[in-house]
Structure 1
Amino acid sequence: MPAPDAHADDGAAPYAVPDAEDTLDLRLSEDYLAFLEEQEDEACAAAADDRHGTEPDRGGGRTAAAGEDLLDRLADWGPAPTPVGELRLLPVRVECDLPLIARWMNDPAVAAFWELAGARSVTERHVRHQFEGDGRSVPCLGVLDGTPMSYWEIYRADLHPVARHYPARPHDTGIHLLIGGVADRGRGIGSALLRAVADLVLARRPSCARVVADPDLRNTPSVSAFLSAGFRLSAEVDLPDRRAALMLRDRALRHVL
């Protein structure tokens, strides 16, 4: 549809140019701002549809296929059934997904452990770093029954700096998880998603014998969620930024735990 009139009367002059030396002050109507937001939402929805196929670029110049090769083409893994709905891991499109992820990072409960609160650029640097490295990590949105509700980082733990701090095995695959909405926390949803994603990793990566996680040892709810998801506490490890609980979900024990 055509854009609403940007000059619509909102009680003030839409342009104010006192003299030629001043910067142009353009005031857009609420209708026009809503129109721009609608266009951005439609573009992001189209980008989300594209994520079910092959994308040429997800991370500011980096070809997604190069990194995903180390994780057996994560974008093609397909859905994971869970007791709370169907979960899909969709590799992040920074230009579309960053506002949502940054909002989650500014939740005090999240910021206490992720330490990425602040301007959107703080989160953007972190997410782009995942893409601009050597393909060890793929950041993803967790979409549950069509609704984005979590942020994931799936990474090659055996090639990651964390491998210096535990006896890594070839093809160990790591998981970082952030549950975005407060309503989705504390109800067992995290445990259900962790179990489903760990099993998805083991199903799609036949060379991977175990899934690894390293939540902050102080984050009791997170450690408890991993335990409920069939992970076992292997050790406490000192990482550069925290003391972590080394959690493992073994392929050989996945039908037992």
Structure 2
Amino acid sequence: MPPTDESTEPGTGTDCEDTLDLRLSEELIALFAQGAGPGDETGEGAGEAGPGRFPPGTTDRTPNAGDTTSGSGDLLDRVGGWGPAKTPAGVLQLVPVRPGRDLALLHRWMNDPAVAEFWELAGPESVVEDHVLRQLDGDGRSVPCLGVLDGTPMSYWEIYRADLDPLARHYPARPHDTGIHLLVGGVADRGRGLGSTLLRAVADHVLDKRPSCARVVAEPDLRNTPSVSAFLSAGFRFSAEVDLPGKRAALMIRDRALRDLLQSRHP
């Protein structure tokens, strides 16, 4: 997100590869899907096509990791079926990526210099394709989505299990901690607070749709001050600085308990 507070959520290039290298057994996947998981429950945090105007071509060679029709063990409570979220900017829906439909759009966004600085996915279309397919071909711990606002795809999201991610090695992760990455694709949508609005809405959507999740986390690059500011404006708290592969990050956390407390005081 270099020039604005919402253009990108940093660095999922090498981190994502590391995440998908952590292989879980089928038994563990089933266990996590049922509500169990690793981590310290008392540890304090230190880190459809849906209603869119999509380009033609919707054939995929891979199953959709976030679709409601995907296989048995679902680590993220079927993101593709979460439905719309109302925001002050309009109605947002997270639509799991289909490479045949969405790749050209994602390729264009990733080659924007402001995005490429932190996502590191610029280059030929195959670079973005490989990044997306690693998630879609994985066990479902990370689901890439388009953010469709009032019918128009305008952002890219990755919803992932932070407690199953290498990030969990760097803070006291709790079972079902859910992470988010964001980039806002269009230049016209940046620099006007839209990122903060969408981050708040999606974090609340995660907490509403994933009752087992008590915290939403993010790890923007510390150099990306506008990004950190956007998370703070979206109701996340700064928890710690963490050294991750390729970057020093700000661990941002949005707590269910704190959100519910604030809502009860300000209905």
Q: For structure 1, which runs of at least 5 residues remain unmatched after alignment?
A: 1-39, 48-57
Q: Which protein shows a greater Rg?
A: 1
Pairing partner for 1:223 from 228, 248, 251: 228
SS in 1 for 2:195: helix
How much identity, in percent, do the aligned residues show?
A: 73
Question: Is 1:134 matched up with 2:104?
Answer: no
Between 159-168 and 84-93, report the one with greater CA deviation. 159-168
Match of 1:73 among 64, 73, 78: 78
Aligned residue number for residue 157 of structure 1: 162
TM-score (norm 2): 0.73
Q: 1:51 matched to which residue of 2?
A: none
Shift of 1:72: 0.7
2:207 to 186, 202, 211: 202
Please name the residue that 1:110 is paired with. 115
2:244 to 239, 243, 255: 239
| 2:97 is aligned with 1:89 | no
State the alpha-carbon separation in 1 of the partners of residues 230 and 143 from structure 2: 22
Runs of 4+ in 1 over 3 A off after TM superposition: 40-44, 61-64
Tell me the distance in 2 between the aligned counterparts of 1:227 and 1:202.
17
Cα distance, 1:164 vs. partner?
A: 1.0
Bigger RCO of structures 1 and 2 (CA < 8 A, at least 6 apart)? 2
Q: 1:135 to 1:88 in 2, by over 3 A?
A: same
Q: Distance in 2 between matches of 1:204 and 1:97?
A: 25
Structure 2 spans left out of the alignment, 5+ residues: 1-53
1:130 CA displacement: 1.0
Q: Deviations over 1:93-147 (max 9, x none)?
A: 0111010001000000000000000101111111111112221100000000000
CA distance in 2, matches of 1:245, 1:68: 31
Displacement of 1:41 in angstroms is 3.7
**Following superposition of structure 1 onto structure 2, how do residues 47-58 of structure 1 map, counting pairs within 5 Å?**
none
Give the CA RMSD over aligned residues: 1.9
Q: Which amino acid aligns with 1:147?
A: T
In the alignment, the residues of structure 1 paired with residue 113 and residue 73 of structure 2 have an alpha-carbon distance, to the nearest angstrom, of 32
Q: In structure 2, what residue type is equivalent to 1:152?
A: W
